[in-house]
């Protein structure tokens, strides 16, 4: 399908910058254990603290599979007198699991307190055979301190298997205690209610390297990922550039950040820009190395680049849970070849990237992402075009900044239409709001008093909280549980010298610091805690 021009773009920005801003793989099936479920009589966990029969090879109520000698209950634990332990003197793969039956349909959440020696190939908790895709959370490997992790799933089959799994090297260990499994939401569609409480952390590593520090709401210095995780964030987004001048957001940096994100028990969304710098509706520039490629070479480059990054993530045990093939694709990608003016070419480029995602891990979900979340005519035109070109994908992503992209009601109408028209799950993959109009550095901020007026919320910490809650509420009200959740864009991008908006200019400033989730004293704002409750 071919079109000559897109629908009018509302509130187009005119600044020389990126203008619209927000584990081992399960595909290695040989390492995944297929275990016969142990059915309990009730729909509640038996022996959730591993205390019922003391130190034993098989804790009461639980079953084991794989290297069963590596799983046992032993003295210790976060509470009570015992804990689950996975350990062996040689490499091992083991699962400790329990199946619950007679469950009402709805969203359920598993939590567990965990600690680890580190060094495992993959250690995680998961919910399996619940009627849809397995949901899991990795056990942190960065320290031996007790850490609570969680994962949620939509139960549609009446049953669900609670799993604790290790694929580990000799003498690696994990401990698990105080496991819970409880219903947290009503019946929905494939989304099952809000499951994504995300943050885009693409700029965090550079910020840290340039001297940024972070404090929690009580003033205790800490890791920004841990602070956001404790506030309820369960998903992180990382952008990928091909060969950026500053050396950040490339494959190597993404691998480093992915390890930290997965270790924190969060899921991972990878956002391919297919550029050396910002890609957005007004700027889709080819990477310099691809500038003179023919179309067939460009199509192959999309596949190879996508496969290279994602397979490296898989091989280090941090498989992407979701992938964006392109960023804010209103005008297409890799101009001029993949412009909106030729949906056939655009469709081929998108399909090439999607095929690479599927080749690495068939369970990874694919998102296509547009800006202007309140612009329904744009979304209909664009998705009709790519679907007409044969592109197959899973999730529709939308950027929504209320000061640029219309009313909350227009966002609601658009997301509702996308979910029902295309039978797809939807995500607000970028949003943000200012907690002040004051500046921290000398660079003029994007969010100012005029945009605060247009956005409809005061430029205060409470206004920031209210905007986040409002966007979550829109997504929650998408029909049939198709609204998956929300990502907050760059909550940790505070003002530090050397990490401005322009990766080619180390003297450029930050136009975003008043929309971060950390104030000008680097302390977590109230909105951090809202991530888990909105």
Query: Tokens representing 224?
Result: 């920004």
Residue 430 annotated in active site: yes
Three-class DSSP category at 411: helix
User: CA torsion, points 526, 530, 532, 534, in degrees to nearest 10?
Assistant: 180
Closest CA to 526 of 480, 439, 464, 436: 464
Q: How many whole angstroms separate alpha carbon 429 and alpha carbon 486?
A: 6
What kind and span of H or E run contains 452?
helix 449-455
Q: How many residues does the chain have?
A: 534
Tokens in use for 275? 């550029």
> Tokens 């069963």 sit at which residue?
68
Q: Of 271, 282, 299, 432, which Cα lies nearest the Cα of 367?
A: 271
H or E element at residue 419: helix 408-422
Which helix (DSSP H) or strand (DSSP E) does residue 149 occupy? strand 147-155
**Is 64 one of the annotated active-site residues of the chain?**
no
Q: Active-site residue among 64, 95, 372, 430?
A: 430
CB-CB neighbours of 219 under 10 Å: 10
CB contact set of 8 (below 8 Å; sequence gap of 6+): none
Q: Which of 95, 178, 328, 372 is catalytic?
A: 328
Cβ burial of 456 (10 Å; 0-12, 13-18, 19+) is middle
The 3-state secondary structure of 330-342, one letter per residue: CCEECECCEECCC
Q: At what angle do helices 376-388 and 343-360 cross, to 10 degrees?
A: 80
Catalogue the active-site residues: 328, 430
């Amino acid at each position: 399908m071919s079109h000559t021009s897109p629908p009018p773009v509302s509130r187009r920005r005119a600044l020389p910058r990126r203008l619209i801003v927000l584990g081992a793989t399960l595909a290695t099936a040989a390492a995944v254990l297929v275990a016969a479920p142990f059915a309990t009589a009730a729909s509640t966990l038996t022996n959730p603290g591993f205390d019922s029969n003391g130190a034993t090879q098989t804790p009461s109520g639980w079953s084991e599979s794989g290297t069963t000698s590596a799983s046992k209950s032993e003295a210790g634990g976060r509470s009570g007198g015992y804990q689950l332990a996975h350990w062996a003197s040689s490499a091992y793969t083991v699962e400790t699991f329990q199946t619950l039956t007679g469950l009402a349909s709805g969203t359920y959440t598993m939590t567990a307190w965990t600690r680890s020696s580190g060094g495992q190939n993959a250690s995680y908790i998961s919910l399996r055979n619940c009627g849809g895709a397995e949901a899991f959370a990795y056990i942190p490997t960065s320290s031996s301190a007790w850490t609570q992790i969680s994962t949620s799933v939509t139960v549609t089959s009446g049953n669900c298997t609670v799993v604790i799994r290790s694929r580990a090297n000799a003498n690696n260990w994990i401990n698990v205690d105080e496991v819970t499994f409880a219903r947290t939401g009503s019946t929905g569609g494939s989304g099952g209610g809000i499951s994504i409480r995300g943050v885009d952390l693409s700029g965090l590593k550079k910020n840290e390297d340039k001297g940024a520090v972070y404090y929690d709401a009580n003033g205790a210095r800490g890791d920004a990922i841990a602070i956001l995780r404790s506030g309820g964030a369960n998903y992180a987004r990382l952008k990928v550039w091909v060969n950026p001048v500053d050396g950040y957001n490339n494959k190597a940096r993404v691998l480093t950040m992915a390890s930290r994100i997965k270790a924190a028990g969060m899921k991972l969304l990878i956002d391919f820009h297919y550029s050396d710098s910002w890609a957005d509706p007004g700027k889709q520039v080819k990477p310099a190395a691809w500038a003179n490629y023919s179309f067939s070479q460009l199509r192959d480059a999309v596949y190879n680049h996508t496969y290279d990054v994602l397979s490296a993530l898989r091989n280090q045990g941090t498989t992407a849970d979701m992938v964006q093939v392109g960023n804010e694709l209103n005008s297409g990608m890799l101009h001029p070849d993949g412009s909106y003016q030729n949906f056939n070419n655009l469709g081929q480029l998108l399909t090439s990237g999607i095929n690479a995602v599927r080749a690495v891990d068939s369970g990874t979900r694919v998102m296509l992402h547009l800006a202007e979340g309140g612009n329904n005519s744009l979304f209909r035109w664009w998705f009709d075009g790519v679907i007409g070109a044969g592109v197959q994908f899973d999730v529709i992503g939308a950027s929504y900044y209320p000061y640029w992209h219309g009313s909350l009601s227009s966002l609601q109408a658009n997301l509702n239409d996308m979910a029902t028209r295309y039978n797809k799950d939807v995500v607000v993959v970028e949003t943000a709001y200012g907690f002040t109009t004051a500046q921290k550095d000398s660079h003029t901020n994007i969010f100012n008093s005029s945009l605060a007026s247009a956005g409809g919320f005061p430029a205060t910490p409470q206004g920031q909280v209210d905007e986040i809650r409002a966007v979550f509420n829109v997504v929650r009200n998408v029909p049939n549980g198709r609204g998956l959740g929300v990502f907050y864009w760059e909550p940790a991008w505070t003002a530090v010298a050397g990490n401005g908006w322009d990766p080619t200019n180390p003297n450029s400033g930050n136009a975003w610091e008043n929309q971060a989730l950390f104030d000008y004293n680097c302390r977590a704002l109230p909105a951090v805690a809202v991530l888990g409750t909105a």
